[in-house]
Amino acid sequence: MSVRVLLVEDEMIVAEDLRRTLRQLGYEVSSIVATGEAVRRQVEIDQPDLILMDIGLKGSMDGIEAAQELNSRHAVPIVYLTAYTDPETLKRAKLTNPFGYIIKPFEKRDLRTTIEMALHKHRMEKKVTHLNTVLRAIRNVNQLITTEKDTEKLIQGICQNLVDNRGYDNVWIAITNRVGRIVTTAEADIEHRHAGGVQQVVNAALPVCVERARSQQGVVVMSDIEVCASCDFVSAFRGKHVLCVRLESNQIIYGFMKAALPSGFIIDDDELALFQEVANDVAFNLHTIRVEEERMRVEHELRNSETRLRKIINRTADGIIIVDRHGIVRFANPAAQAMFGLTEQELVGTVFGAPVASEDTTEIKLVRPDTRPITAEMRTAEIQWEGKSAYLASLRDITDHKKIEQALQQSVEKSQRILQETVQALAIALEKRDPYTAGHSLRVAQLAEALAEELGLPEDQVRGAHIAAAIHDIGKIYVPAEILSKPRSLSDAEFNLIKSHPQIGFDILKDIEFPWPIAQTVLQHHERMDGSGYPQGLSDGQIPLLAKILGVADVVEAMCSHRPYRPAPGLKRALEEITDNRGVLYSSDVVDACSSLFGREGFRFSP
């Protein structure tokens, strides 16, 4: 849309020449008037974007006087046309704050430059005025929010503030309860008319804009359209836009705010952002008020329940100590008095001596004046006591329990030591029958334990891997010694007898109650990922991790050791074997861990 210029010039030849020039520059001349009196009337009719006005006009009012009157009524930028350059005239013109001067005669480019600069300056001034209005409205709302804690006074004050400082025709705020029913409203409008918002709430007939705001994020913009025809808000302010937004904080809807805007009010992103920001501030304050009300309600209930609490904790078998935030004892029930060997009068007012701010369970030693110390298990919780923040410490005497626990731990450690020694003895007994494989099982146990650690298994599982590896060949006890130590290749029958050792080992171990699946691991340590192993021909998903670890450790150690029927292939060949068959015979994860151990970690078998 082209810029509309109202031309004020009393010389018609000059005026027509200016009209042509302005059209050539792309501007539209809305009218040409010759007097100051006429320009006042024509501005009302044309609503121009700019007035190009000669200072020296015929009649009783010159251009400067006309500009003074226009400035008091209209916000239209004025550019002076003048052939006068005397200081007095320019001084008078300057008092009207013109947006520019064109000195006759002038060049076409000077005219364009002056007009464009005037329009730009006018736009910038309007923007600054708009922003100042926005900032003033936000400042006033925030001041009200920080000082007013009464909900009804708060929302009424915000409605009035937005009408007075933002220029809205009407503002309406409705507050909802926890089930979404509107319970409180406030309303203000510029003409002190009642738009019917309160009556709508009474009749439970919510406007369409409120229903939309209830179901969608952001500001809802409604025009005077058919869907709003029955709304009191629209009918009271015919031809206006309506903004509506929900008041939401912490995903809780506290109500709704809507406003009717004057005709010609620009609804841009800044305006929507202002409306949303005000709504957010109001919602946050409503949230704060509701939280404070809830806090006061809970505090009241706590005070009322304190007497009941005293009765309960006086009857409990656990010792109960109430400690204030400075660590001073404020209450001790009879059980606590007995645990400390002191009366309540002797305990109250003293420093408790143990940290109570943590909610974790802790153990403390209670030194009593009359008898042996006791160990107490303490649990703490933050509470309100006599209207102030405090801590409740619950004490339970676990002295005897600790003794039993210590004895049990010693028993477990002894059992584990016996188990370890028994396994060690079995491994040594096995190797006595086969001197050529002396140390094999213990070296396999070293590697299996290291592999389990490399794979990140828990300490308990690492221990299980060691135990299973130490006795994995226990079934060879049933294999004749001459076959075990035979210096030549075995016959098929002899090899099948050797292959029976996993099953025999399982049969020996299956009735022993190990903490780990030792018997199953021994049974499956010769199973392979592709199902080619023995004795059951299991494949990948059927073989437990401990058996996969033991299988790799067994192969690597065996290839690193001499046998009666062959020299040791060595570590390099052993690693090539498991790497070449990674994912085929041996678990990929276990192979990778083994390669890392011997490479990056520098693992070596102990002698």
| Tens digits of residue pLDDT in 271-305 | 788 888 888 888 888 888 888 878 787 777 766 76
Whether the per-residue pLDDT at 267 is higher than 90: the answer is: no
- Quote the tokens at residue 577: 């074997």
Question: For residues 581 and 559, what is the distance between their CA atoms, to the nearest angstrom?
Answer: 15
Q: What is the DSSP letter of 475?
A: G
Beta bridge partners of 52: 7, 79
Taking alpha carbons only, the member of 516, 574, 503 closest to residue 545 is 516
Taking alpha carbons only, the member of 216, 5, 193 closest to residue 99 is 5
SS3 assignment, position 526: coil
Taking alpha carbons only, the member of 66, 75, 59, 123 closest to residue 93 is 66
Q: Residue 504 — left, alpha, or beta (φ > 0 → left; ψ -120 to 50 → alpha)?
A: alpha
pLDDT of residue 487: 66
CB 516 within 8 A of CB 525: no
- Quote the tokens at residue 362: 């802790």
Question: For residues 85 and 465, what is the distance between their CA atoms, to the nearest angstrom?
Answer: 105
Q: What is the DSSP letter of 165?
A: I
Query: Which range among 2-11, 134-143, 387-396 shows the weakest confidence by mean pLDDT?
Result: 134-143
Cα within 13 Å of Cα(427), Cβ side: 22
Whether the per-residue pLDDT at 403 is higher than 70: the answer is: yes
- Quote the tokens at residue 451: 């592999």
Question: For residues 194 and 90, what is the distance between their CA atoms, to the nearest angstrom?
Answer: 51
- Quote the tokens at residue 592: 């990778």
Work out the average pLDDT over 223-237. Answer: 64
pLDDT of residue 202: 44
CB 393 within 8 A of CB 321: yes
Question: For residues 423 and 421, what is the distance between their CA atoms, to the nearest angstrom?
Answer: 5
Whether the per-residue pLDDT at 423 is higher than 70: the answer is: no
CB 59 within 8 A of CB 37: yes
Question: For residues 436 and 264, what is the distance between their CA atoms, to the nearest angstrom?
Answer: 104
Whether the per-residue pLDDT at 600 is higher than 50: the answer is: yes
Top mean-pLDDT range of 86-95, 361-370, 504-513, 543-552: 543-552
Question: For residues 423 and 205, what is the distance between their CA atoms, to the nearest angstrom?
Answer: 84
pLDDT of residue 85: 67
Which of the four pLDDT bands, split at 50, 70 and 90, describes residue 526?
very high
CA quadruple 188, 189, 191, 197: dihedral, nearest 10: -90
Top mean-pLDDT range of 78-92, 206-220, 325-339, 450-464: 450-464
Which of the four pLDDT bands, split at 50, 70 and 90, describes residue 436?
low
> Quick count: other Cβ atoms within 10 Å of Cβ 405?
11
Cα within 13 Å of Cα(203), Cβ side: 10
Phi, psi of 126 (to 5 degrees): -65, -40
Taking alpha carbons only, the member of 378, 385, 380 closest to residue 310 is 385
CB 167 within 8 A of CB 263: no
Q: What is the DSSP string of 240-297?
A: -EEEEEEEEETTEEEEEEEEEEPTT----HHHHHHHHHHHHHHHHHHHHHHHHHHHHH
SS3 assignment, position 582: strand
**pLDDT tens figures, 152-198:** 888 888 888 888 877 788 888 888 887 778 888 888 876 655 444 44
**pLDDT tens figures, 66-123:** 888 888 777 888 888 877 667 777 778 788 788 888 887 778 888 888 888 988 888 8
- Quote the tokens at residue 181: 């029913």
> Quick count: other Cβ atoms within 10 Å of Cβ 339?
20
CB 465 within 8 A of CB 451: yes
Work out the average pLDDT over 21-38. Answer: 87
Question: For residues 571 and 560, what is the distance between their CA atoms, to the nearest angstrom?
Answer: 5
552-575 burial by CB neighbour count: b if 16+ within 10 A, else e?
bbbbbbbbbbeeeeeeeeebeebb
Whether the per-residue pLDDT at 454 is higher than 80: the answer is: yes
